Chains A and B, each alone.
Chain A
């Protein structure tokens, strides 16, 4: 099944590598992954869709939680969340079907963001199924090329961010240094 997880991650070097590394090492296939900064520039939000056996869903969340740079993990596969994907589609148009393509885009709530004699670049957002349909329709008009963003989501429930507090290290601060100084 496809599982959508949302991670809040510290912007530390290698954070993406750690996340994808654990997923691949544990044998979970990444269907899509997006990363971008959040309101707090020190944190990033990752939205990841993984293909896993339903019995492994909890394990995926636990493995993500073990990562030291990951502050919060949410499973947004179900439940109150808005899930959206963006697709940019370049479709080749003929003088005969240009109007029809634009009409079709309008029906899907998509819009042309570039127009040339060869055709259009169209931007569409929606859930993945809707985009699948729209892309099928566009393909029927002519040669198309598609770039999809992968799913991003925002939970509709406020989830309190639980952070570990600072730790006082039991260090012997009085330790005499050996006195060799530069």
Chain B
């Protein structure tokens, strides 16, 4: 027999190896048995999760924390449908993921076979692109195309559906060196004329603001962003997806804009005369009522996805390109035209002073109490331990907003959260993926008592892999964000918001063979967190926080972002 006669399963593993995949997150099933058989003695690391959704969330955690493509694997039918939520999540947040699903044997497709689902049809709208591989000959090409599409342009999830007989068939494997996707056009460079116009607008502006998002992180443009901000000396905001794109401690950084953004950010975004929008999509959670958003501003909009430009807000200077490449050129333009800086510098100095005043007027400051742990207190303690260096994976809800407000990030790819989709159950499995990719880093999974119980089976995975993830449950006994909205907008009728029966964390973690405990007193919080971090393995810390705390500032849905509610209207009775 020829030396390179291989079956489809092994060819797939060959292709993954050539794409430099070092770990895949998955769950086996009937039709993927040939692939699992090939994995049995293959050096590629496989992490067995406890639910397919978490395989994809973990792949996202891997991708978000490294910038590399995350890979997950599920079987046909229920395995594939379980991926859907996480694929949509990766789609919304532009995260490069390749999902491989098994499919029933080619001949059975369309016959309602056991564990058959129309994965190709179901995942069409939740992927950047998807494939059904019907012939083994197409497999290597398809896999490399999938990685190329996932990781270039605006990144996103790509799914490859592979029938069982394709895994089993054998052929002579020839590595692929080129791929050709004639309709896949990515414009990265940015239009030189528009970049020049952008520089011009910047020097003409009196009240500029830099509005940076996930595109900065995807493009690896943090250094260029920082140079731009310093060169113009403009205030800068990072969106929920962009946190870490600027060091949180930078003097020009005024935190996050939008629904739970800082007062200074929202005031500055309203009063500005020039928005320098970089890798953002003018999301409704940022703009509030669109018609009232930044009414006096011209807009420079840089994005690699042409469809984002002008989608929600018309751009005066549209620039289609990769944020890193465009910013490098824009910074060069600004250097070359530095003599123009003085023209409006006096006005810009006044603007900076005004933004500083807003920051001092209503700073984002944690709350403390001597009787109970305030959620903001918890976040500021985690911030103290992290020192801007730890990976923080948040779930979705109040704790996510407080973490975004109070935990600082010195670098990109430290803050991992489900931004666009807001998928509860994201945080803990994402932390598993992040810890696999960064074995020497401190990784926190900050979760609510709601979201944690959606991903609780993964306690087995951290135990099994001995991953030292620090699971911090911000436990207020409620679906906190639901309770907050019910309090504010539904006459405090707390319908289905209370979470009764949270498991004893010591027993729960103990059942999996690691440590856990509850902390309730503010004076014990610091020591409890330090003990959790000192533990060499995983740790489950259940932090009982005051149940009725609300996230402020808050822009009510449909409101303009300068119409923030800054504090509770009155104390609410328990």
Contacts and interface: CB of A to CB of B under 8 A. Distances in A.
Interface of A: 10, 13-14, 17-18, 21-22, 25, 58-59, 62-63, 65-71, 162-169, 171-173, 175, 177-178, 180-182
B145 to A, nearest CB: 9
B94 to A, nearest CB: 12
A180 B41 contact: yes
Given A171-B177, A172-B20, A181-B3, A71 B182 contact: yes
A169 B124 contact: no
Given A58-B310, A62-B307, A166 B179 contact: yes
Nearest to B180: A166
Chain B interface size range: 35 or more
A68 B183 contact: yes
Most B CB contacts (10 A, CB to CB) among A25, A68, A173 go to: A68
Contacts of B7: 182
A169 B177 contact: yes
B307 A59 contact: yes
12 contacts: A10-B182, A18-B124, A21-B124, A65-B185, A68-B183, A164-B184, A169-B177, A171-B144, A173-B18, A181-B4, A182-B1, A182-B10
Nearest to B129: A68
Interface string B135-158: 000000000100111000000000
B175 A164 contact: no
Contacts of B124: 14, 17-18, 21
B456 interface: no
The secondary-structure label for the interface of chain A is: loop
B177 A175 contact: no
Given A173-B177, A182-B7, A69 B183 contact: yes
A97 B63 CA distance: 73
Nearest to B40: A180
B135 to A, nearest CB: 12
A178 B42 contact: yes
A169 B179 contact: yes
A9 B228 CA distance: 41
A5 B120 CA distance: 26
Contacts of B5: 181-182
Contacts, number: 99
Contacts of B534: none
A69 B149 CA distance: 12
Contacts of A22: 125
Given A17-B121, A63-B307, A182-B1, A163 B178 contact: no
A167 to B, nearest CB: 5
A36 to B, nearest CB: 18
A55 to B, nearest CB: 9
Contacts of B121: 14, 17
A168 B181 CA distance: 11
Contacts of A164: 180-186
B18 A182 contact: no
Interface in B104-145: 120-121, 124-125, 128-130, 132, 144
B19 interface: yes
Interface string B1-38: 10111110010001001111000000000000000000
B181 A68 contact: yes
Given A166-B179, A167-B178, A171-B19, A25 B125 contact: yes
A163 B183 CA distance: 6
A107 B124 CA distance: 48
Nearest to A14: B120
Contacts of B531: none
7 A-B pairs with the lowest CB-CB distances in the bound complex, closest first: A62-B307, A163-B182, A166-B180, A171-B18, A71-B183, A166-B178, A68-B129
Contact of B14 (A21, A70, A162, A177): A177
Given A62-B307, A177-B14, 15 more contacts: A13-B120, A14-B120, A17-B121, A66-B307, A164-B183, A166-B178, A169-B144, A169-B148, A169-B177, A171-B18, A173-B18, A173-B175, A175-B17, A181-B5, A182-B6
B10 A180 contact: yes
Interface in B178-212: 178-186
B6 A172 contact: no
B60 interface: no
Nearest to B5: A182
Most A CB contacts (10 A, CB to CB) among B7, B17, B147, B148 go to: B17
A178 B39 CA distance: 11
Most B CB contacts (10 A, CB to CB) among A70, A164, A171 go to: A171
Interface string B259-299: 00000000000000000000000000000000000000000
Given A62-B307, A175-B18, A13 B132 contact: yes
Contacts of B128: 68
Nearest to B309: A62
B176 A169 contact: yes
B178 A169 contact: yes
Nearest to B182: A163
Contact of B185 (A10, A162, A172, A182): A162
A21 B20 CA distance: 33
B311 interface: yes
A17 B129 CA distance: 12
B43 interface: yes
Given A177-B14, A182-B1, A171 B175 contact: yes
B305 interface: yes
